Amino acid sequence: MRDGGHRQPTILVTGVNGQIGFELLRTLQGLGRVVPCDRSMLDLSDLDRVRAVVRELKPSLIVNPAAYTAVDKAETDIDAARRLNADVPSVFAEELARIGGTLIHYSTDYVFDGTQARPYTESDATNPVNVYGATKLEGEQAIAAAGCAHLILRTSWVYGRRGRNFLQTMLKLGAERPALNIVADQVGAPTWANTIAAATAHIVAQGAAAADAHWWARRTGIYHLASAGATSWCGFADAIFATAMAGCTPTVAPIASSDYPTPAKRPANSRLALDKLTATFGLRMPDWRDVLQLCLTG
């Protein structure tokens, strides 16, 4: 991401009212002219307008956390999910390829079917088991086909202090109910949106400081970005209550996924191997328990 050295590069950030986008507005400050993009500025369902805005701004970098993330609703709202998760990143990538810009795009552990025993690497075969995962995979493939410099950052089990997420749901339910049944046979790494935004800024800062004009192109590809360690949804809930509600924690009972049927199937194993991220960018991701503690008490 170079801009001739005479002015700050323009960084377009989408989804700024969402979990990751909100945090990115803070972590990317000082790394360029950050242009926040919310629905009032740009309706992402209007692909012609999306294309026009990119051509008008000519950003050096687009950071795209905007996505259709309602996993169950996506099963019947396929067109809307595909528009946000595949078509929009495709337009971004096509336009950035024209002007030599870079795209940082966030994807998901749900591109995998979750059947293997070990953590998934970036080169493992994808096989999504729900519409959300399938449309996110389509987005990955469209970006790669467009030919722009890009980083696709797959993350997992994202939560934060704002928005709808597992943490906020548990805090609400834990205050209302003395006992909860939580799925225990799905395993992944709870990842704070702030952690994702901080890691992204670390990468962007490296790119901005690089003397190599092809720095981004040489690192183009898919990377897994999540907390270290793993737990189940039940374990995550236990940790939330132990940290945030000491002395008045609800009873948490583990249940199987089959006991809590949902419209969309979820992968049993969502663990992501982080070796490539560390080797390429020097990022060592913190353990999910330490991050949760910081989120709730820091």
CATH number of the structural domain spanning residue 157:
3.40.50.720
Residue 242: inside a domain: no
The answer to whether 12 and 18 are in contact (CB under 8 A) is no
Residue 237: inside a domain: no
Residue 205: inside a domain: yes
Amino acid (one-letter) located at 15 = G
DSSP letter at 15? -
Residue 172: inside a domain: no
Q: Is 132 a catalytic residue?
A: yes
SS3 at position 255: strand
* Beta-carbon count within 10 A of 88 CB: 25
pLDDT tens digits for range 141-192? 999 999 999 999 999 999 999 889 999 999 999 999 999 999 999 999 999 9
Q: Is the pLDDT of residue 4 over 50?
A: no
163/85 Cα distance (integer angstroms): 19
Q: Which of 110, 132, 159, 223 is catalytic?
A: 132
pLDDT tens digits for range 48-100? 999 999 999 999 999 999 999 999 999 999 999 999 999 999 999 999 999 99
Domain range enclosing 66: 10-165+191-228+272-286
* Beta-carbon count within 10 A of 209 CB: 9
Cα–Cα distance list, 3 to 32, 102, 207, 214 (Å): 10, 12, 12, 13
The answer to whether 92 and 54 are in contact (CB under 8 A) is yes
Closest alpha carbon to 283 in 158, 193, 197: 197
Residue 141: inside a domain: yes
**Is the Cα torsion angle 122, 225, 137, 140 positive or negative in sign?**
negative
Total of domains in the chain: 1
Residue 247: inside a domain: no
Closest alpha carbon to 105 in 77, 135, 129, 72: 135
pTM score > 0.85 for this model? yes
Reported as a pLDDT band with limits 50, 70 and 90, residue 298 is confident
Q: Is the pLDDT of residue 1 over 70?
A: no
**Is the Cα torsion angle 68, 74, 76, 82 positive or negative in sign?**
positive
pLDDT tens digits for range 267-280? 999 999 999 999 99
Q: Buried b / exposed e across 176-195, counting CB within 10 Å, b at 16+? A: eeeebebbbbbbbbbbbbbb
Residue 42: inside a domain: yes
27: phi then psi, degrees, rounded to nearest 5:
-75, -25
Question: Can you say how many angstroms the Cα of residue 44 is from the centroid of all Cα atoms in its chain?
Answer: 17
Residue 243: inside a domain: no
Reported as a pLDDT band with limits 50, 70 and 90, residue 7 is low
**Longest distance between any two alpha carbons in the chain, whole Å:** 60
